[in-house]
Amino acid sequence: MAHDDARALETDERRFSNGGGGESLGLDDEGLRALRVALAAWRIGPVAEAERKVKPRLQKFTTWSGLEVLDVATPADKRTHYKADLGLPGEYPFTRGVQPTMYRGKLWTMRMFAGFGTPEQTNQRFKYLLAEGQTGLSTAFDFPTLMGYDSDSPRSLGEVGMCGVAVDTLRDMEVLFDGIPLDKVTTSMTINGPAVVLLAFYIALADKRGIPRDKIGGTVQNDCLKEFIAQHAWVVGPRPAMRIVTDMIEFCSREVPRWNTVSISGYHIREAGATAAQELAFTIADGLAYVESCITRGLDVDEFAPRLSFFFDVHNDFFEEIAKFRAARRMWARFMRERYGARKAESLKLRTHAQTAGVSLTAQQPHNNVVRVALQALAAVLGGTQSLHTNSLDETYALPTEEAVTIALRTQQIIAEESGVANTIDPLGGSYHVEWLTDKLETEALDYIRRIDEMGGMVAAVEKGYPQREIAASAYRFQREVEEDQRVIVGVNKFVSSDPKNIPLLKIDETVQRTQCENLARVKASRDADAVREALSAVREAAKGTANLMPPIIAAAKAYCTEQEICDVLREVMGTHSDPAEF
């Protein structure tokens, strides 16, 4: 019996290596021909008869992004070489997941986005979430901080602490993370244009506490290209911004090895109106641009690529979102190996954070948002995310209350502990529909990337306005579908209730700005003015030349230079940016 088992194992391994006994999930050419004949007969027979009795609900069935969906998928729709296209979890091309055991070994990080008001207020929310079972921190900054302005700037009037926490100096970072062990908890910071300054504040805080730089871990979003495409919170133009990002990647790969230096973000691209295929294409293309910038700098791809991470939106179409994650991993692995010659397995792995779709939340019938978020979170988990934020039901109105954010966190915990979906690895792998949809999204995304390559890469495409126009056109098509009732949004254009439900909201006191400005004034009055001038001068000289910007900006942080003071130097030397009018 043992001899027979060994022979069977050897036969199975040979079939696996050759593509699973056929190019299409086990069927040879003769079997595929027979299946296609049977499908044709089924469609003109039983299906046609059924549709004469009961008309299809819709004239056309599509995904949320507009891809036409097959009535039923079969092996005839999926030409798969198992080893080359799917493989096993944790193995190239990582379609089925980046870790061999996925959630059987370690659950995804539950990282709820938090930040409002003063650093003291956000510190309290951080500690509350950690006590409730959150396993990582995610920091939301207010709009002045996102744009590189201090709380006392005239540009900041009315915005301080409103959509996130205000951080002006290292002193604010000290308060924000008071009592939180930086070497035990990983921290994500959602900031892009001024990311170099906020990361410098964080590193300076670790230095001040005596925590070695190789012990701190986390992520800074730092995706400048995404800002020019979708979110529009930048400090300098595309090319100098690329230089700053490359400086940060180079510095952290050597000094802060556990830090994810860029969270290449499709989230805001999708929120701006992109389809799933556009989100996939433009996000991967942004990542390729960062890789190429670092290689041009002279860095070895395997030196920095393992610390690049991703951030995807999870929208309403359940299977489309699952397929998007699977296609993303396969595409990235192939580009890294075939285009850039990466050798380390860690360089090939697309590791991603995910967030449920803020744009899908509705102000009408806000409790419906709990259901939307649960389905989106389940799609993210079945898609194989490494980290997840679930939106709160009240976020169309305001930043979430403590009660709402707890429900959002409990949604993840119920999926993890009660649903059973974390007990098996890639449970939808081999689904004819999911595999067909994965291929379909990959094909569409690769076509976008081909066009971007023909333009000279993503920086050139952004300067031409190409991704911006594509996203705007998709957003327009979708909105028109909603307004013409071709796309149903429950509670908005169908099943509408005339009795609005009031829900409690988190209100940010306008005294936050006064408090923050008073604290900032005390920091400015107590710091060494000569040290500030010298530190800013060193940043200016580095910006004018080719020296890495991280060391002088960390030194400026330790001198308690403000975020705006440092960003103003960068704007002065590198110039500012406006969208080209021809968009």
Q: Check whether the bond before 46 is cis (ω within 30° of 0).
A: no
Number of domains in the chain: 2
Are 6 and 113 part of one and the same domain? no
Does residue 72 lie in a domain region? no
H and E: helices and strands count for the chain: 23, 10
Gap between the Cα atoms of 317 and 305, Å rounded: 31
Does residue 495 lie in a domain region? no
Question: pLDDT tens-digit profile of 28-53?
Answer: 888 888 999 999 999 999 999 999 99
CA 464 vs CA 186, 245, 284, 457: distances in Å: 37, 21, 18, 11
- Domain-terminating residue out of 436, 465, 483: 483
Are 189 and 149 part of one and the same domain? yes
Does residue 488 lie in a domain region? no
Gap between the Cα atoms of 152 and 522, Å rounded: 12
Amino acid code (one letter) for 379: A
Mean pLDDT of 229-255: 95
Are 43 and 138 part of one and the same domain? no
Are 45 and 92 part of one and the same domain? no
Q: Pairing relation of β-strands 308-314 and 262-265?
A: parallel
Are 40 and 92 part of one and the same domain? no
Gap between the Cα atoms of 134 and 151, Å rounded: 29
Question: pLDDT tens-digit profile of 147-156?
Answer: 999 999 999 9
Predicted pLDDT at 9: 42
Burial 312-327 (b: 16+ CB within 10 A, else e): bbbbbbbbbbbbbbbb
Are 194 and 46 part of one and the same domain? no
Gap between the Cα atoms of 477 and 471, Å rounded: 10
Question: pLDDT tens-digit profile of 538-580?
Answer: 999 999 999 999 999 999 999 999 999 999 999 999 999 887 6
8 Å CB contact between 143 and 164: yes
Does residue 188 lie in a domain region? yes
Predicted pLDDT at 565: 98
Bridge partners for 27 per DSSP: 24
Does residue 499 lie in a domain region? no
Question: pLDDT tens-digit profile of 184-224?
Answer: 999 999 999 999 999 999 999 999 999 999 999 999 999 99
Are 184 and 131 part of one and the same domain? yes
Are 268 and 361 part of one and the same domain? yes
Are 344 and 260 part of one and the same domain? yes
Q: Which domain holds residue 50?
A: 2-60
Predicted pLDDT at 583: 44
